[in-house]
Structure 1
Amino acid sequence: MPITTPDPTPPDPEEFTRGLAALERHLADAAAPTNTAVQPIHDAPVVRGETRRVQRLRAQVAEAHLLADLQDDDIPLLLDSPKVRKRRRQAHEAARLHELSRQPAQLAYTASKARRRVNIGLTVALVLALGWSTAGVQVFASEGAPQWSPGWVFAWFVEPFMSIALLCFVGAKAFFGTRGQPANDRVLDRIEWLFLGLTLGMNAWPHLPWSLPEGEEFSFARLVLHILGPVVAYAVVTGWPRLLARFAALDHRLTNPLTVAAYSENTDPDRDHRKPFGGVRNGLSEGAHRERLRDLIASGQLPKQPSARAIQRALGCATETASRLRDELADPNPDPR
């Protein structure tokens, strides 16, 4: 099938004329010079003097206003610094240790440690004193016997068997003293005096003026040095049982004010039968505790809003009473009771 292209319609002369006129106007506008005339001076904006110095001063003034607003806020002053927190931790630890030191178990443990140290120290002192005395007694008992002869060797056993007997008596009296039954027996006391007198005499006799060899001068210092062992042994033997009796008589009853007393229906619920903190009497009424609390707050010994624990420690009252007094201070309009 053949394809035929129709001939286009010739343009209208008027359209051709309008097109040429539009083209000429476009070219004329494009070729026209641009208006670059400078505006008059009176039309320019006025300069306000915004220099760097002005901007810096404005920034300083704005900063001062912000700092003044922030300085009126006391919240940063209420925060604890690291030093304050460290001191509070140390104070809290000291308070806890003080409370622990008042408990019966801690008191008994402390007394036990003290008694152990005393026993060890006195035992060492007594053994050394008797050992020192042994050398002096050996000189007295040997009577100038040759060294390593039978008399010289057996002279070393004179003091030990007396010391062993003396230590047995002392140990028995100490044991009875720890059980609260001191052995106040004249016979035992005389036996101790006999052993100590013999020891003292045998140590002092070779160094007395009439016992010295011819040509040797008497020395008081040498005499004191040789009787020092028996004197120390006598002091230990005399004082040891009495010290142990004192340890046995110690009272480890409840003295901690934070421990709640046992309940009894026949007693006043506001009465605290524990030993008070600070020497305040127990058995006071709640009204008396209230007046006492007001006096403590007025004198500055307690803050205006103390805790229940602080009130209990200051007044020596029961926990429930301290809680009620704390609530009364916290509530500005307490209910009448």
Structure 2
Amino acid sequence: MTTATPTPEPTPEDIARGLAELEHHLAANTPAPAPTPAGIDGQTRRVARLRAEVAEAHQLARLQSDDAPLLLDTPKVRKRRRAANEAARLHELGQDPAMRAWQAARMRRVLVAAAMAALTLALAWSTAGVQHFAADGAAAWSPSWVFAWLVEPFMSLALLVVVGARAYMGTRGQPIDSLTLVRIEWLFLGLTVGMNAWPYLPWSVPVFSLSRLVLHVLGPIVAVAIVTALPIILAAFTDLDHSTGTGTGTGTGTGTGTGTGGRLTALTYGANAHDPVSPTATDPARPAAPEMPALVQRARALITAGELPATPSAYKLRQVLRCGMDDARAVRDALLAEGMA
């Protein structure tokens, strides 16, 4: 009979080694713990939302303290600035002698064309009255009745030749001051008025009607007015001075001045304020500013360099020299005086 060999008892080292292996096995094979339910550590949705709002508020506060967006021009400001710049440039262009001459020539052409059109219509209006006078009761479509329609046209064409020649020569600065032509005009106009009015005068009709008389003499009266006024208007255009003049403004916001020969200059800006240190140049009671010769010398140099026209306007000088309007006028007057000397 065989007896079992007794198992030796484990030593403390064996027990410690076995416990270490067991802990290592459990650490390697134990699953990760489940996440902590919301609310246990205080991280609720409300706390997260409030924390996000606070962070956003801090960022907004830092951004709002920066004034860079306020320095940018809005579309409305840029539109106004562009309009103001355009108005200033148009005003400057309007002071240029060439521009003023072009404007005057365009207006003169428009007025002459309108006057000639009105004169032609007025003479055409009187054709029926002249035909009634020239026909003298002739039967319709008879030779006398037909030829009566030609009386006014050939008189009107002759009158338009004289008026057109005087108008054209007036636009060229060579008005025709001929007493003979004036008498021819008045002869044709007198015949037209007389032939239109005669059949409707009180002694020519059984019942006088003032309205019919006025209606028939309206065309000739308009023709007389145009023939009388057109040479006067063209003479005024011929005497226009397209230079900037040598005037001085009134200095209360907008002013007008008189140039050489008594002609009016264009509107200008306000004068300089009276300053005891720098008196205005246009005030005769005050002495000229000490820096005025330097401004004149600088303007002369700019004209020589081609940066200013030969006869710059006060507005242009004010822009280039960056001085007051009164000083700019004084510089302009000094330059003009040098040019006439």
Greater gyration radius: 1
Aligned counterparts of 1:31 and 1:78: Cα–Cα separation in 2: 73
Change in CA separation of 1:72 and 1:116 when aligned onto 2, cut-off 3 Å: same
Aligned-residue offset at 1:223: 1.1
Q: What SS class does the counterpart of residue 150 from structure 2 fall into?
A: helix
Describe the superposition over 1:215-248 as per-residue Cα deviations: whole angstroms up to 9, x where unpaired: x533221111111110010011001111111111
Tell me which residue corresponds to 2:309.
none
Tell me which residue corresponds to 2:151.
158
Of 59, 62, 72 in structure 1, the residue corresponding to residue 52 of structure 2 is 59
* TM-score using structure 1 length: 0.62
Q: What are the within-5 Å matches in structure 2 for residues 1-337 of structure 1?
A: 30=21, 49-212=42-205, 217-254=207-244, 277-278=268-269, 280=271, 284-285=288-289, 287=291, 309=319, 312=322, 314-315=324-325, 317=327
1:196 is aligned with what amino acid?
A: L
Change in CA separation of 1:82 and 1:286 when aligned onto 2, cut-off 3 Å: farther
Instruction: State the percentage of identical aligned residues.
Output: 55
Describe the superposition over 1:244-264 as per-residue Cα deviations: whole angstroms up to 9, x where unpaired: 111111211247xxxxxxxxx
Change in CA separation of 1:68 and 1:25 when aligned onto 2, cut-off 3 Å: closer
Task: Decide whether the 8 Å contact of 2:131 with 2:148 is kept in 1.
Answer: yes
Change in CA separation of 1:109 and 1:28 when aligned onto 2, cut-off 3 Å: closer
Q: What SS class does the counterpart of residue 183 from structure 2 fall into?
A: helix
Task: Decide whether the 8 Å contact of 1:173 with 1:183 is kept in 2.
Answer: yes
1:96 is aligned with what amino acid?
A: R
Task: Decide whether the 8 Å contact of 2:200 with 2:212 is kept in 1.
Answer: yes
Aligned counterparts of 2:267 and 2:175: Cα–Cα separation in 1: 34
1:149 is aligned with what amino acid?
A: S
Further displaced range: 78-87 or 157-166: 157-166
Q: Which runs of 5+ in 1 are unaligned?
A: 1-21, 36-46, 256-273, 290-307, 322-337
Describe the superposition over 1:127-177 as per-residue Cα deviations: whole angstroms up to 9, x where unpaired: 111111122111101111122322222222222232223223323332443
1:138 is aligned with what amino acid?
A: Q
| RMSD of aligned alpha carbons | 3.9
Aligned counterparts of 1:28 and 1:279: Cα–Cα separation in 2: 106
Change in CA separation of 1:275 and 1:241 when aligned onto 2, cut-off 3 Å: closer
Task: Decide whether the 8 Å contact of 1:169 with 1:188 is kept in 2.
Answer: yes
Q: Which runs of 5+ in 2 are unaligned?
A: 1-12, 28-39, 246-264, 272-279, 283-287, 294-317, 332-341
Further displaced range: 116-125 or 228-237: 116-125
Pairs aligned (count): 252
Aligned counterparts of 2:26 and 2:173: Cα–Cα separation in 1: 127
Describe the superposition over 1:277-334 as per-residue Cα deviations: whole angstroms up to 9, x where unpaired: 5254768535589xxxxxxxxxxxxxxxxxx94873743657xx9xxxxxxxxxxxxx
Change in CA separation of 1:279 and 1:182 when aligned onto 2, cut-off 3 Å: farther
Aligned-residue offset at 1:110: 1.3
* TM-score using structure 2 length: 0.61
Change in CA separation of 1:27 and 1:130 when aligned onto 2, cut-off 3 Å: same
Aligned counterparts of 1:251 and 1:27: Cα–Cα separation in 2: 123
